[in-house]
Structure 1
């Protein structure tokens, strides 16, 4: 259920009260930023997209009629912007594996006794990330919203304006693809090819 504080802040922001919009932005900025970053996997791009999203929210706030919750409306705009961004990209950048900076350990440090375990964990994590990058934009958005943002199926369906069955189907297909790709990469590593 929509928080009364959200509804009140939206009403005040629609009347032109800047502090009310600032409060809404502060309330949702972290969640939107996290979702966008997990989707585009580039902090600079995510930062730019988040700014664009909140500018769009601000300029279109008068169009919000309360037919859905404010958070659903906001996440629908964020999801659409992320999907549009990915679709506009002609090529996807491959990021290098930077274990030391990403996982905070130095393999040469003898005090770090769990280096092997952390390397295996990092490699598994990298396999999953690579598999997620291969998903189509629609499947990736559902996966990010469900797994990383921990949204309910109902909230995802509302945010993306999709039937509940479509959301579940996209998540199932995304998870199937990720699982298949990870198993394939693990097999290749075992064979040594």
Structure 2
């Protein structure tokens, strides 16, 4: 009985990115699909916000995962892939924006994690009613405009934090800056976002701090 209880309470070890890479290289296609599912949503949100084009974001997202698949034999499997993926995504977005010359995005050039994420950043889809969807889209547009209006050195940090849901350590690795610098930029950007969002920011922001 005691042995049985021990078996029942034994925790299943987490499957790391490195394990999934190793399994993919060994021919396990489902392992790669698991990696895609693990990072697809925050990565796509980040790309879509950068480009402002849903269809193009779909294409770039596929390119990022294709580059992941091709690069697997040379990747270091001892650490998570999140920062690497967002660095690739950032570079792909820069390439697209330079090619299209649609907007100037030089701000993405690189020069405590317990902080809350804005509820306006990633709004879950729980099949909202049409009027709720309209309000949600309006808030998303206001947030996008507020982020785009930030000083260049703050903007990419905020985008990675809100739309990509990266930790400050991951942001630092993605942008090649110290973690403390990433956190400082984020903290300095928050009052600017609050001011830009006005009444739309305050109720939701206070709710997350409760």
Above 0.5 in TM-score?
yes
The equivalent of 2:130 in structure 1 is 104
Question: Gapped runs of 5+ residues in structure 2?
Answer: 1-12, 105-128, 199-210
Once residues 59 and 137 of structure 1 are traced to their aligned partners in structure 2, the CA distance between those partners, rounded to angstroms, is 32
Matched, 1:71 2:92: no
Alignment of 1:85-164 (within 5 A): 85-92=96-103, 104-105=130-131, 122=138, 126-135=141-150, 139-164=154-179
Q: Identify if the C-alpha distance between structure 1 residues 19 and 128 changes in structure 2 by more than 3 Å, giving closer, same or farther.
A: closer
Q: CA RMSD in A?
A: 3.5
The equivalent of 2:36 in structure 1 is 25
Deviations 1:68-125, CA, capped at 9 Å, x for gaps? 32223222222332344334441239xxxxxxxxx9339xxxxxxxx9xx59x93x65
TM-score normalised to the size of structure 1? 0.64
Deviations 1:42-72, CA, capped at 9 Å, x for gaps? 2111101101111111111111113532223
Q: Please, which moves more after superposition, 162-171 or 45-54?
A: 162-171
Question: Gapped runs of 5+ residues in structure 1?
Answer: 94-102, 107-114, 184-193
TM-score normalised to the size of structure 2? 0.60
Once residues 152 and 27 of structure 2 are traced to their aligned partners in structure 1, the CA distance between those partners, rounded to angstroms, is 35
* 3-state secondary structure, aligned to 1:4: coil
The equivalent of 2:22 in structure 1 is 11
Q: How many residues align?
A: 161
The equivalent of 1:191 in structure 2 is none
